[in-house]
Amino acid sequence: MADARTQKAKDRLLAVAKALQPPVSMPKAFIERMSACLVADPLLPRPNPSISLWQEPPHPTLATVQSHNLPSYADFVVIGSGITGCSVTKSLLENEILGSGNNPSQVVVLEARNLCSGATDRNGGQLVSPVGHTFAGLVERFGKATAIEMARFSLMNIDRVMEMVRDMGPEIQTESEIRDLVKVMVPETESAWLESLSSLEDFREAFPEHKYLHKVFEQKELAKEWNVKVGFGTIVHKAGAIWPYRLITGIFESLLGQYPNRLSIETNTPVTAISRSSSPSEGTANTTYQYEITTTRGTVHARQVIHCTNANASHLLKPLRGKMYPYRGTMSVQKAGTHLENIGNNASWSLLNKPTLDQNTGLYDGGLYYLQQNGLTGDIWVGGGSSSIFGTLSSDDTSVPGQAMEDLARFLPKYFSEGWPEGEEPEIRGM
């Protein structure tokens, strides 16, 4: 079984590598080392992760919330408390059928660390659908029919998230700093620019109702319109931005207030094993609550288990190893330059290029920088940069790759036309 997983991982790796460079040029040892990363056990979330500025300050009541005694039974156990775990929990609790009758369903959320301390709390905080410039690639990889479904879902996802937050009331909107923006997507090279324009044409042909969703600006307009001094032009489209940690913790706080007798959130309670009940004849509880979820604080019996664990999913779901694997990126927060205007309530930016992989050094560049500006403080939240491919394919979030730190520290003055005086470097607020 392990050999079969390894071979499948190699096949998928070669498919990805083909887009980066001819796979025949990649040494066997290099491919085998990458394959080992893909099929490796991602382990449990590390207990000592790097601190994200999104979670400063921690939620006053929910950051480390847990019951005095771990619940013994639950209809649903949700593993993970990021955006996926929060979404699943919200949907279960708001389902009219599950909430009706004399015994409405009980939901237990199990989180290995503090609430919302994984990828959701470490991303760029952007609500963006890139389907205009990625549509052609989706068609090539999945076929036109599936690509259309994926693009439509991506667009709807942004709209639904914005609608959901705005339906939750002014307090959570203020705390999460939700705002409507335009995304300024800048292809860095001529080839990336031409490919993006070609993809946009295909998208417009497939979605005539979205023909005017994107606006195209030529290279000569970049500095004047968007304060950008690199790239061959830009494709601009509607987007949004949000403070992810405050949004998710705010939703969980709201759910606990609405369903205090149905929802239990257990932070710092990692799941170490899941098994089916081995003795269903012992009693009603075992036949109904067929799953035994072992944690560091005890065992929970559940009817159903829902994994919302992202990079760590295949630790418990071993058949997914090689199919689902971590991808570690790097985010930073940097103080705006003295001459950089704060337009964080109006725009966010990105820089697009073709991904590259150096087989000699193992250095991988994902080909994307993405950034937004806080509308209140003016700070820039920017992610991207290069790092070792072997470090990229890792779930270890305890440290920040040195090369990515260097790339991000140098990026902003090279991207914006005005912002930093000559020779001045951005002040790093967090990595």
Please check whether residues 79 and 228 belong to one and the same domain.
no
Please check whether residues 344 and 363 belong to one and the same domain.
yes
The 10s digit of each residue's pLDDT in 361-407 is 999 999 999 999 999 999 999 999 999 999 999 999 999 999 999 99
Cis-peptide into 57, omega within 30 deg: yes
Pairing between strand 298-307 and 107-110?
unpaired
Q: Show Cβ contacts of residue 86 under 8 Å, excluding neighbours closer than 6 positions.
A: 116, 248, 251, 252
Please check whether residues 370 and 412 belong to one and the same domain.
yes
pLDDT of residue 65: 98
Q: Is residue 151 part of a domain?
A: no
Please check whether residues 236 and 367 belong to one and the same domain.
yes
Q: Note down the domain range covering 13.
A: 2-39
Please check whether residues 420 and 341 belong to one and the same domain.
yes
pLDDT, mean of residues 356-362: 92
Rounded to 10 deg, the angle between the 244-258 and 83-94 helix axes is 20
* pLDDT(301) > 50: yes
In 251-336, the DSSP E strands lie at 263-266, 271-276, 291-295, 298-307, 331-334
Rounded to 10 deg, the angle between the 131-142 and 190-206 helix axes is 80
pLDDT, mean of residues 36-51: 95
pLDDT, mean of residues 187-209: 98
The 10s digit of each residue's pLDDT in 109-128 is 999 999 999 999 999 999 99
pLDDT band at 281 (very low <50, low <70, confident <90, very high): very low
* pLDDT(430) > 80: yes
Please check whether residues 409 and 370 belong to one and the same domain.
yes
Contact 154, 129 (CB under 8 A): yes
* pLDDT(414) > 70: yes
Q: Is residue 24 part of a domain?
A: yes
Please check whether residues 235 and 358 belong to one and the same domain.
yes
Lowest-confidence region among 28-32, 39-43, 259-263, 310-314: 28-32
pTM summary value: 0.91
* pLDDT(285) > 70: no
Q: Is residue 46 part of a domain?
A: no
Tokens of 84: 């996926």
Please check whether residues 390 and 349 belong to one and the same domain.
yes
pLDDT of residue 277: 78
Contact 290, 77 (CB under 8 A): no
Contact 303, 290 (CB under 8 A): yes
Q: Is residue 402 part of a domain?
A: yes
Q: Is residue 413 part of a domain?
A: yes
CB atoms within 10 A of CB 165: 19
Given 288, 304, 320, the domain boundary residue is 320
Please check whether residues 402 and 367 belong to one and the same domain.
yes
Please check whether residues 234 and 333 belong to one and the same domain.
yes
Given 320, 347, 366, the domain boundary residue is 320
pLDDT band at 19 (very low <50, low <70, confident <90, very high): low
380: CATH: 3.30.9.10
* pLDDT(267) > 70: yes
Given 295, 320, 345, the domain boundary residue is 320
CA 317 and chain centroid, separation = 20
Q: Is residue 134 part of a domain?
A: no
pLDDT, mean of residues 124-135: 96
- Percentage of the chain beyond pLDDT 90 is 86
Average pLDDT, the chain: 93
Tokens of 361: 């050094």
Contact 257, 140 (CB under 8 A): no
Q: How far is CA 336 from CA 12, 224, 340, 419, in A?
A: 41, 19, 6, 7
The 10s digit of each residue's pLDDT in 328-342 is 999 999 999 999 999
Contact 188, 351 (CB under 8 A): yes
pLDDT, mean of residues 267-292: 79
* pLDDT(15) > 90: no
pLDDT, mean of residues 244-269: 98
CB atoms within 10 A of CB 228: 21
Q: Is residue 130 part of a domain?
A: no
pLDDT, mean of residues 307-312: 96
pLDDT of residue 26: 79
pLDDT, mean of residues 335-351: 96
pLDDT of residue 151: 98
Please check whether residues 269 and 333 belong to one and the same domain.
no
Q: Which residue has the tokens 């001459």?
A: 339
**What's the domain count of the chain?**
3
* pLDDT(16) > 60: no
User: What string of H, E and C letters represents the secondary structure of 183-200?
Assistant: EEEEECCHHHHHHHHHHH
61: CATH: 3.50.50.60
pLDDT of residue 75: 97
Please check whether residues 249 and 238 belong to one and the same domain.
no
Q: Is residue 160 part of a domain?
A: no
Rounded to 10 deg, the angle between the 144-166 and 190-206 helix axes is 90
pLDDT of residue 9: 59
